[in-house]
Amino acid sequence: MKPRAWNSTLPAPTKPMKRSASRSGSHLSRSEIRREAELRSRKPIRPRNPKRAAWKFKRNFHSVDFVEFTHTRPCWPCGSRDRIQAAHILEGRKMGGCGGDWRDVGPQCSDCHDEWGRGVETFLRARGLTWADAERAVAEHQAAWAEYQEAA
C-alpha cells in the first residue's frame, strides 16, 4: 500500500511542524511565545542590590583604604610593584564572594594572580614556595596594615 501524502493538493512537509502552544492555531513553541511576550514591571529592576554589594565589599576587602594600601605593597611571590591587586590568598572566594574575607588578602601582581587562579599547587611548586610562605605573606601584610592604621 502506498503511503498517503500530507495533503492531496500540497507536497509533504520537509520537516515536522511545530506543535501549537495554544488552541488558537498559533504555530509558535512555548519558549518562542515567552520570548515574544511583553514583560510588564511596576518598577524597574535594579541591576544590583547596593546594600548587598557594600556588605560584600566590606567582608571581602575591608575598606577602600585597605585596598589602596594593598596596591602600594610589593607582590609577595615575585616582588614586583607593577599592577598590584588585592588577592584572596588563603581562602578562595567561592561562589562569587562567599568564602574568604579581608583577612585572607595579600598583594599579588596581576600575572601572579592569574597563575594563582589557574592552580595554587602548581603555582607554589613552580616557584619553590609552600603554603607556610603564603600564610606568612598574609600575616606580614596584616601586620603592616595594623602599623599603617596606628600611624594614621
**Other C-beta atoms within 10 Å of 26: how many?**
12
Tell me which DSSP letter residue 81 carries.
Answer: -
Using an 8 Å Cβ cutoff, are 87 and 123 in contact?
A: no
| 109 φ/ψ angles, rounded to the nearest 5 degrees | -70, 160
The counts of H helices and E strands in the chain are: 7, 2
Segment 70-125, tens digit of pLDDT: 999 999 999 999 999 988 888 765 555 456 788 888 999 999 999 988 888 899 99
Q: What is the pLDDT of residue 56?
A: 86
**Other C-beta atoms within 10 Å of 59: how many?**
14
Rounded CA separation 33/69 (Å): 53
C-alpha angle 52-83-77 in degrees, rounded to nearest 5: 100
Segment among 4-13, 43-52, 125-134 with least mean pLDDT: 4-13
Query: Quick check: pTM over 0.75?
Result: no
- Tell me what percent of the chain is helix, strand and coil, each rounded to the nearest 5: 50, 5, 45
Q: Confidence class of residue 21 from pLDDT cuts 50, 70 and 90? A: very low
Rounded CA separation 46/49 (Å): 7
Residue 54 burial by Cβ neighbours in a 10 Å radius (0-12, 13-18, 19+): exposed
